[in-house]
């Protein structure tokens, strides 16, 4: 099969022929239909986060089940599925206490003595984030995908697999936005737009979107934002948010991955507010907060994949899309072929696109 391979950091992905194994007892072979080009992949390409190489990248995807292992009970051949990088074992402490997205059990991967899921003529190929979806097929653990209704377009379903689940889940699960709450979202790419949409679905009374690109105002309001601040022209974003809300927001979401914006997310909170860091701040970077602010019971916390329970959450998000509540159509900036993936990352750096989606031929 054709796959986009990262062999060395800070170099373009290479389109190569990669061999894929047959499903083990708890594994599923999927024909990839679509894969979103996510900023998280760029972090690994640029070396901000380490990963064993060579690896087939990609982690935001949807497809059709082709084969299943002997013990698989959750999906069957022909099912349309969304994948999820937070594969779960189902019986560790995290899973049994309802925190499946935090599961790190090695059971969802193949052991060192097992045949690798992916290989090339040059040797074993590393699987990326349990998925490796920049490829015509995926071989994954059954608890890394969920079946969805077949009338859901798979190019839009792919977005739910990471960016949408991360943003919507951060609002609904991690921070528990309630009806009437005030919200600020810093960074209005795919994840930020999803956080805005999730906060709107949850009933937030005011949603302030913040981005460097002035041209995004109409887009963020289409996703549910009530206000827009262009950070490029604002003298002081934090001050502006506090003045607009007469004291600060109850929930803030940082969806870029920078120390400065993480600090801003905390500083724009009202007393008792919660800052949620969704963006991937590069390894080794730190943030600085004023200690006295904690006397006002302000909180700062991380959010991993929207604190999801994806076998339940993703089919519900599909229903939200089909009923018009979840806005996915406008999130896709363009549809591309696998061979165009490096151009998509170049365009991503401009900040002008929400999502590029690789669409594979049927």
Residues with catalytic function: 38, 40, 43, 59, 162
Pairing outcome for strands 145-148 and 80-83? antiparallel
CA distances to 38, 71, 83, 341 from 354, rounded to whole Å, are 9, 39, 20, 15
From first CA to last CA, the distance across the chain in angstroms is: 14
Nearest to 60 by CA among 271, 306, 320, 228: 306
CB neighbourhood size of 19 (10 A): 13
Token pair belonging to 253: 């979401």
Give dist(CA 185, CA 192) in Å, integer. Answer: 6
Tokens, residue 120: 């090339």
Torsions phi, psi of 91, nearest 5?
-140, 10
Best CA proximity match to 61, nearest among 34, 29, 101? 34
125/105 Cα distance (integer angstroms): 21
């Amino acid at each position: 099969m054709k796959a986009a391979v990262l062999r060395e950091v800070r170099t373009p992905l290479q389109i190569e022929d990669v061999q894929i194994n047959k499903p083990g007892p708890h594994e599923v072979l999927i024909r990839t239909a679509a894969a979103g080009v996510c900023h998280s992949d760029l972090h690994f390409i640029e070396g901000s986060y380490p990963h064993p190489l060579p690896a087939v990248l990609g982690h935001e995807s949807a497809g059709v089940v082709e084969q299943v292992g002997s013990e698989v009970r959750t999906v069957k051949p022909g099912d349309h599925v969304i994948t999820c990088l937070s594969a779960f074992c189902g019986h560790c402490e995290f899973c049994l206490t309802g925190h499946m997205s935090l599961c790190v059990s090695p059971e969802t991967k193949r052991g060192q003595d097992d045949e690798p899921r992916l290989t090339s003529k040059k040797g074993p190929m590393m699987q990326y984030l349990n998925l490796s979806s920049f490829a015509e097929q995926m071989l994954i653990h059954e608890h890394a995908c969920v079946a969805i209704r077949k009338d859901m377009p798979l190019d839009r379903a792919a977005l739910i697999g990471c960016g949408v689940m991360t943003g919507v889940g951060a609002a609904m699960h991690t921070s528990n936005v309630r009806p009437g709450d005030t919200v600020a979202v810093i960074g209005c790419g795919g994840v930020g737009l999803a956080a805005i949409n999730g906060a709107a679905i949850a009933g937030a009374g005011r949603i302030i979107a913040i981005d460097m690109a002035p041209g995004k105002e109409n887009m963020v309001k289409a996703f549910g934002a009530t206000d827009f601040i262009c950070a490029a022209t604002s003298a002081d974003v934090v001050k502006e948010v506090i003045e607009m809300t007469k004291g600060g927001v109850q929930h803030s979401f940082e969806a870029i991955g920078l120390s400065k914006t993480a600090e801003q997310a905390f500083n724009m909170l009202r007393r008792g507010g919660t800052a949620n860091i969704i963006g991937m701040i590069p390894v080794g970077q730190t943030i600085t907060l004023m200690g006295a602010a904690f006397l006002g019971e302000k909180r700062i916390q991380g959010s991993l994949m929207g604190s999801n329970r994806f076998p339940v959450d993703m089919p519900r998000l599909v229903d939200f899309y089909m009923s018009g509540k979840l806005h996915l159509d406008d999130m896709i900036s363009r549809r591309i072929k696998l061979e165009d993936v490096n151009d998509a990352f170049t365009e991503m750096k401009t900040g002008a696109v929400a999502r590029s989606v690789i669409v594979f031929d049927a």
